[in-house]
Amino acid sequence: MEVLQLSNYTDYLDESLSKLRTVLDDSGSRPILFIGSGLSRRYLNAPDWIGLLEKLIELNPKKRFPIGYYTQQTGNNLPHVASAIVEEYQEYAWENCDKEMEIFPKFLFEQTFPKSIFLKHTVASIFDNLTNQFVIEGHQYEQELNALKTLHPHAIITTNYDCLLERLFPNHNVVIGQQVIKKKDAINIGHILKIHGCVTKPDEIVISHEDYTFFHEKQKYLIAKLLTYFMEHPVIFLGYSISDSNIKGILAEISEMVNGDGDEVVNNIWVIEWKKDEIAPDYKPPTDKTVDLGNGKSIRVNYLQINTFERLYESLYQHSAASLDDLRELQSNVYNIVKSKTITRLEVDMIKIRSFIDESALARLIGFREPEEAELVPQATMALLGVGTIVDAEQLMTIYPMRISQIAERLGVTNWYYVDQLIKRVTIETGFNLKDSNNKYHINVGIGQCEHRYSLDAVDLFKRVLDNEEYSVIIDNGQEVKSPNKTLG
């Protein structure tokens, strides 16, 4: 019988999404979604940047030239094009400020506003109209949108002005512009950080050359505040091109902090690039790309090319036992207790704290109800080589108490990624990939999605590998396989 072979692209997508799921699980945290204009173009039918500038020119009855004039004058520098249009909008506004029919609201003529406010007010009106027309039911991409809004990201960072994300993630709190830097809890769980401003505050919109100059002056403070995201969470860039200046600017600031070697893939950073045309079944895109950051610097990141987003959103889904409001309140209360100067004696049940092996354990202790169908481990007997028979979930979690990030802490390495490299080394040296099965070192306790856990035997194994010592592994058939001889040095 003929065996049906998967296409190159199908293989590529399956392998990439499986790797992404493993990164999510191994990080032990929720992802950060970094969302660009591509999603607004897809779901709101919003214009791209040059399309927006062209529309702004057309809306001005006093326009002097079409878009081509300005791109020629500025060498296709779009912030400079916006600056030129700012001047024309200010002239148009003031020439008509005393007319009976109000073209711009009277308060915009107050001296507290910069001259760019008239252009930015028009930008806000354009995106307000698009957002007001947005309805998920009956939308061309209804299935994608329904999958997207079920996600539980730690936070969302966006350069978009529109309010699409607020509609999709109503439980996330919005922080706009300079408040991202100034607000102390901006990087707490459950926020949408609109770093280029928002239509609800037109004066904060970043669009002109002057706006971008000011933004770049403050960017180092922004990156310093967001660094925790890039170190501890998977970061997913959606709606950007790999060559987008926004991506390059952010990655340039963090490249030296997260990756000293430009040839090594930064495992927790993913750039998802959408292609308008259908991807040929026999085409296999690259799984990573090197981003040229200028000045001889580069950074290598995971890369995924897709034509539709539904499978990606499904892969990014993580069950959540608690609401964002509950977690925000818990985070705030813990912070306030720790920083309080009025507490002279705080008794803590350390046994219970050590039992917080994951969000679900904490949720159960606090009282959040876990849906029955979302139980981590089924109440079923499992026989594991080198371990014996395991009867219930509690026993499983006792034998396999650690995520890969916790193993990294025990080994004294800076990131879970280094433990993942040790696993790959064991696979190369022994032919046994311990993550492919349930065994004495590892178990996948997830239902429908990966949930990798590791034993103390795994810690001992990885320590020997890290120290370049001889070691052996018990593989799935019970056979002991020894590592190649090591040269100790």
Question: For the segment 301-328, what is each residue's pLDDT rounded down to a tens digit?
Answer: 999 999 999 999 999 998 765 555 655 5
Is there a contact between 46 and 170 (Cβ–Cβ < 8 Å)?
no
How many whole angstroms separate alpha carbon 275 and alpha carbon 273? 7
What pLDDT was estimated at residue 354?
A: 44
pLDDT class of 212 with cuts at 50, 70, 90: very high
How many whole angstroms separate alpha carbon 381 and alpha carbon 395? 11
Is there a contact between 282 and 319 (Cβ–Cβ < 8 Å)?
no
Q: Cα dihedral sign for 258, 261, 264, 265? A: positive
Which amino acid, residue 367? G
Is there a contact between 251 and 242 (Cβ–Cβ < 8 Å)?
no
Of 238, 242, 305, nearest to 278 (Cα)?
305
Is there a contact between 71 and 83 (Cβ–Cβ < 8 Å)?
no
pLDDT class of 247 with cuts at 50, 70, 90: confident
Looking at the chain, the domain(s) classified CATH 3.40.50.1220 span 8-42+139-316
Burial 187-221, CB ≥16 within 10 A → b, else e: bbbbbbbbbbbbbeebebbbbbbbbbeebeeebee
- Across residues 378-402, what is the average pLDDT? 59
How many whole angstroms separate alpha carbon 289 and alpha carbon 309? 20
What pLDDT was estimated at residue 447?
A: 58
What pLDDT was estimated at residue 314?
A: 93
Tokens for 414, please give them. Answer: 């800076």
What pLDDT was estimated at residue 186?
A: 76
Residue whose token pair is 């308060």: 107
- For 173-204, what is each residue's pLDDT tens digit? 999 988 888 887 777 888 999 999 999 999 99
Of 114, 196, 211, nearest to 162 (Cα)?
196
- For 40-50, what is each residue's pLDDT tens digit? 999 999 999 99
Q: For the chain, give the percent of residues with pLDDT over 70.
A: 79
How many whole angstroms separate alpha carbon 6 and alpha carbon 281? 9
Of 304, 301, 220, nearest to 258 (Cα)?
301
Tokens for 32, please give them. Answer: 């950060």
Which DSSP category does 433 fall into? -
How many whole angstroms separate alpha carbon 13 and alpha carbon 402? 29
pLDDT class of 205 with cuts at 50, 70, 90: very high
pLDDT class of 398 with cuts at 50, 70, 90: confident
Strand partners, 214: none
Choose between 352 and 67: higher pLDDT. 67
What pLDDT was estimated at residue 94?
A: 92
Whether the per-residue pLDDT at 362 is higher than 80: the answer is: no
Whether the per-residue pLDDT at 410 is higher than 70: the answer is: yes
Q: Which of 10-24, 194-208, 355-369 has the largest mean confidence?
A: 194-208
pTM metric for this prediction: 0.76
Measuring CA to CA, how many Å separate 359 from each of 217, 322, 356, 366, 369? Answer: 38, 8, 7, 11, 12
pLDDT class of 475 with cuts at 50, 70, 90: confident
Provide the residue count of the chain.
489
- The SS3 assignment for 456 reads helix
Question: Chain-centre distance of CA 220, in angstroms?
Answer: 20
- Across residues 414-431, what is the average pLDDT? 85
What pLDDT was estimated at residue 246?
A: 76
Which fold, 8-42+139-316? Rossmann fold (3.40.50)
How many whole angstroms separate alpha carbon 274 and alpha carbon 391? 46
pLDDT class of 350 with cuts at 50, 70, 90: very low
How many whole angstroms separate alpha carbon 286 and alpha carbon 277? 17
What pLDDT was estimated at residue 111?
A: 87
- Across residues 410-418, what is the average pLDDT? 81
What pLDDT was estimated at residue 1?
A: 41
